[in-house]
Amino acid sequence: MGILTMTGIKATAYTCKVDGIYYDLDKTAKTASVTEGDSPYVGDIKIPKSIIYKGITYSVTTIGRSAFGYDTNLTTITIPNSVTMIEECAFRVSGLTSIVIPNSVTYLGVGAFSDCYNLTSVTLPRNITRIEPATFTYCSSLTFINIPNSVTSIGDCAFQNSVFRSF
């Protein structure tokens, strides 16, 4: 089991750390969820499709709640097509400037990219049907977003206080 830290900005619990990325593991389903850790993510991060921990392979399927939240020095992220879910506030107040979300993702949590002040460009997956409330709120630099035809619902305040205003 990971270490629980109660000092600083983040209080974290995680199962393991592999190649600089923290994970929670579901040992029954053999899946891994990227989570926050003891130190912030910095620079360019490439999430793998799977990890091996203690001789067992786990498929990386989720970017967990607040996983990259407040990581202001995170600049780019590569998400593999094994990921199907990006949970609530996953990238809130991160330093991302652009993101391409793979077509495997079918869910973006509430506030997933809120307060990403440097985010200028977003490519949404073609299988997403809903943009949750506050997903891109306060993304003051957002000037480009592709919204696929599959989107049938946009939640309240999804783009509140963002530069981007038309679809």
Q: Is the pLDDT of residue 7 over 80?
A: no
The full set of domains in the chain, from first to last, is 16-154 (3.80.10.10)
- Average pLDDT rounded to a whole number, residues 27-41: 95
| pLDDT tens digit sequence for 90-118 | 999 999 999 999 999 999 999 999 999 99
The rounded Cα 32 to chain-centroid distance in angstroms is: 14
* Residue 60 to residue 54: CA distance in whole angstroms: 16
pTM for this prediction: 0.88
Q: Is the pLDDT of residue 150 over 90?
A: yes
| Residue type at 48 in one-letter notation | P
Residues 85/62, Cβ–Cβ less than 8 Å: yes
pLDDT of residue 20: 95
* Residue 43 to residue 152: CA distance in whole angstroms: 34
Which class for 17: exposed (0-12), middle (13-18), buried (19 or more C-beta within 10 A)?
middle
What phi, psi does 34 have (nearest 5°)?
-65, 135
pLDDT of residue 8: 39
Task: Take residue 43 and report the two structure tokens written for it.
Answer: 């620079």
Q: How many CB atoms lie within 10 A of CB 95?
A: 21
* Residue 125 to residue 32: CA distance in whole angstroms: 21
30 band by pLDDT with thresholds 50, 70 and 90? very high
Q: Is the pLDDT of residue 14 over 60?
A: yes
pLDDT of residue 9: 45
